[in-house]
Amino acid sequence: MTEQSSPITAAEVTKVAKLARLTLTDAELERFTHQLGDILGHAADIEALDLTDVEPMARPIPLTNVFRPDEPGEPLDRDDVLSVAPAVEDNQFRVPPSLGEDS
């Protein structure tokens, strides 16, 4: 399969992987480009159908307005939660810094 005929290019898959913080090997890149191409190909099959008379649906389930009353429930115990955190400081989760870009 050449890049032109594929619904998704290896470059696009690389970008998506980067956004998802995934590092792909060359073999994985090829495999996922192929698999994602198949999925997009299936969507293309549906696009090929004449759906002019079909109402667009925002959700597959015909359900609206599921609510919860504004009433407090039981919180989790902080010590329980923090006991499973990788790092803790002052009752807070300690995490590595992010966003390095600056000038």
Partner 1 sequence: MSVDLDTWEIVVGLEVHAELATRTKLFCSAVNEFGGEPNTNIDPLTLGLPGSLPVLNEHAVELAIRVGLALGSEVSPSSFARKNYFYPDLPKDYQISQFDRPINVGGSLELPSGKVIGIERAHLEEDTGKSTHVGGGGRIHDAGYSTIDYNRAGVPLLEIVGRPDIRNADEARAYVTELRSILVAVGASDGKMEEGSMRVDCNVSVRRRGDDELGTRCEIKNVNSLRSLGRAIEYEAARQVDLIEAGERVQQQTRHWNEDDGRTHKLRSKEEADDYRYFPEPDLVELDPGAEWIERVRAAMPVLPAARRHRLAETTGSELEQTALVVERGLDELCLAAIEAGADPVRVLTHAEHNLSDERSLKLDPEQFAELVKMETGGQLTATQAKTVLSEMVEGAGSPADIAAAHGFEAMDNSELESLVDGLIESNPTEWQRFCEGDAKITGFFVGQVMKATKGQADGKAVTALLNTRKG
- The footprint of partner 1 (CB under 8 A) covers 19, 21, 58-59, 61, 63-76, 78, 81-82, 89-103
What is the residue type of 8?
I
Residue 41 and residue 7 in contact, taking contact as beta carbons nearer than 8 Å: yes
Cβ-based nearer residue to partner 1, 54 or 69: 69
Instruction: List the one residue out of 31, 43, 40, 29 whose CA is nearest residue 5.
Output: 40
